[in-house]
Amino acid sequence: MLHELERKLTAVIADGLSSRPNVTIVQAPAISRPAAAGRGVVRVGVAEIGPQAGFDREQFVFRTATERRRVLSLTVKTVVDFFRLPAADTPEALSGARSLLLEDMSLVSHRLSAADVRNGQAFRTPTDAGFEMQSFELRRGTPARQLADGVLVAELEYEGRAQIWPAGLSEAGGPILAIDTVATALPISIVGPEVVPAGGTAPLRVRGANPERALAVTVLSDLPPAQRGAIATGTPGQETGVRIVAVAVPETVILYRAPSTGDLGQTRLEYVAVHLATPDNRTGVLLGSVAVRLQPGAP
């Protein structure tokens, strides 16, 4: 996946330097020292990867109308290193080598600034290579400097956004045949009691929910699932601890039951989360939540 991305980038740069016969383009971690005086080397390598902000670990994309694949969205930092060995050990040769190295950098940066590279189209392959580059931008560059062995070096650093997956791997899926929409004004109003004693019950009042869709309500707590509070209203949903509650007008009353067994420990607060219910009775979009303070002891 990343190797194929790196190899494709190397090929793109090689196309951009086709007019430079004295430059060898290699993929990391190939040797960087030019083979002879007066020659140059351009080395391409993926230097760092990281998550895209807010990426979904269970994100799926449809490969065809009946197949899908799980992808990982990444930021990819790529480094393009430039090396030039002067033709001779003289100030004139050193100046000439630096000029050639800067020209190599100019040609590569110009090629990689093209629209098809920046939007990822230049990285597309005729077969499934396990990656899709979505953007590719220059971050910074380091001008030519001389190493101890007389070689001149420079660097360009790029950052891209990509999706990767095991090449050729997909699973059965299905096309989206319809989109279900519902309008709900946010935030909705959720009013609950200030304190509920252990084992006690209290109503939560929800206003502003759309009566055309049910609510999926659950309790969030630091207590284990078997010991935390529960919702006594509605019917069981498809997920553990979720209750499906029909919306009433002008307000929907949801009955909350506080924990009654086991030691509360240091837990003195639970949250009742109100979601939009999906058509298959699962939790959908979060509409709001309310904190419920617990009072240890019998009601």
137 with 199, same domain: the answer is no
Nearest to 228 by CA among 183, 253, 275, 261: 261
285, 205 Cβ separation under 8 angstroms = no
Has residue 97 got a pLDDT over 60?
Answer: yes
In-domain check, residue 113: yes
Going by C-beta distance under 8 Å and a sequence separation of 6 or more, which residues neighbour residue 266?
222
CATH classification of the domain holding 250: 2.60.40.720
71 with 135, same domain: the answer is yes
Q: Is 25 helix (H, G, I), strand (E, B) or coil?
A: strand
In-domain check, residue 179: no
CATH classification of the domain holding 135: 3.30.2000.10
Has residue 299 got a pLDDT over 60?
Answer: no
**pLDDT score, position 176:** 60
Task: Quote the pTM value.
Answer: 0.56
As separate numbers, helices (DSSP H) first and strands (DSSP E) second, the chain gives 3, 18
User: What share of the chain has pLDDT > 90, as a percent?
Assistant: 48
153 with 11, same domain: the answer is yes
Which pLDDT band holds residue 137 (cuts at 50, 70, 90)? Answer: very high
Strand pairing report for 201-207 and 195-197? unpaired
102 with 233, same domain: the answer is no
In this prediction, residues 35-51 reach a mean pLDDT of: 90
Counted domains in the chain: 2
User: What share of the chain has pLDDT > 70, as a percent?
Assistant: 87
278 with 228, same domain: the answer is yes
Question: CA 241, CA 223: separation in Å to the nearest integer?
Answer: 13
Has residue 82 got a pLDDT over 90?
Answer: yes
Q: What does each C-alpha distance from 221 to 59, 236, 240, 261 come to in angstroms?
A: 27, 19, 14, 14
* Beta-ladder partners of 62: 68
Tokens of 113: 């600034």
Has residue 11 got a pLDDT over 60?
Answer: yes
Going by C-beta distance under 8 Å and a sequence separation of 6 or more, which residues neighbour residue 16?
107, 108, 110, 111, 112
Residue 235, domain extent: 189-295
23 with 60, same domain: the answer is yes
193 with 163, same domain: the answer is no
**pLDDT score, position 65:** 54
Going by C-beta distance under 8 Å and a sequence separation of 6 or more, which residues neighbour residue 136?
112, 117, 118, 120, 123, 158, 159, 160
- Tens of pLDDT along 143-186? 877 776 788 999 999 999 998 888 776 666 666 666 666 666 67
**pLDDT score, position 174:** 61
Which pLDDT band holds residue 101 (cuts at 50, 70, 90)? Answer: very high
Q: Of 139, 172, 205, which marks where a domain is finished?
A: 172
158 with 239, same domain: the answer is no
**pLDDT score, position 235:** 96
